[in-house]
Amino acid sequence: MNPETLRDHALTEDDDLREAVELLLHRADQRRLWLLFLDGRGRLGDPLMPMADYPSDPLDPVSIEDLDDATQAQVLAHRIEMLRELTGNAAVVLVWERVGDATVGGESDEVRLWARAMRRQASSLGLPLRAQLLLHGGGARLLRAVDGA
């Protein structure tokens, strides 16, 4: 897999997805969330979207007119689902970028909190969340339930 042919590859295996994220994003250099979309055949779709200013707590309440009272995670999940539908993509991948190592742990770990909250919201909404990854100083790794995510 190389950057020129990346969009031709179905990212059906977790290792393929991790490799694609590393090819696209390399290593973490700041705190941000990346939204990646996959088409019906598992290939990288458009758009590839960075979000650098998301809240630190996914459970903070927010009042949004079309959702009434909701949490930050609920709002984000709804907006991602709207984007997925508008772009005609089949699934979404969330990449949590942060400077540091690959460790995810502790009840106050922001990536862990967000990944857990987004997994729950995706399940609740029926949002096809293919995977969540952590992009760190050494590359990328898949976040799994054993991470508490």
Nearest C-alpha neighbor of 72 from the set 44, 110, 99: 110
Nearest C-alpha neighbor of 6 from the set 46, 40, 49, 51: 46
Instruction: Tell me the per-residue pLDDT of 78-123, one tens digit each, with 9 for 90 and over.
Output: 999 999 999 999 999 999 999 999 988 877 799 999 999 999 999 9
Q: What is the number of other CB atoms lying within 10 angstroms of the CB of residue 135?
A: 27
CATH code for the part of the protein at 6-142: 3.40.140.10
Does position 59 have pLDDT exceeding 80, yes or no?
yes
List CB contacts of 46: < 8 A, sequence separation 6 or more: 37, 87
Domain boundaries, the chain: 6-142
Does position 38 have pLDDT exceeding 80, yes or no?
yes
Does position 149 have pLDDT exceeding 80, yes or no?
no
Q: What is the mean pLDDT of residues 17-26?
A: 96
Q: Give the model's confidence band at 57: pLDDT under 50 very low, under 70 low, under 90 confident, else very high.
A: very high
Predicted pLDDT of residue 108: 77
Residues recorded for the chain? 149
Predicted pLDDT of residue 107: 72
Summary count for the chain: helices (H), strands (E): 3, 7
Q: Are 44 and 5 in contact, with CB atoms under 8 Å apart?
A: no
Does position 4 have pLDDT exceeding 90, yes or no?
no
Residue identified by tokens 């590839």 is 48
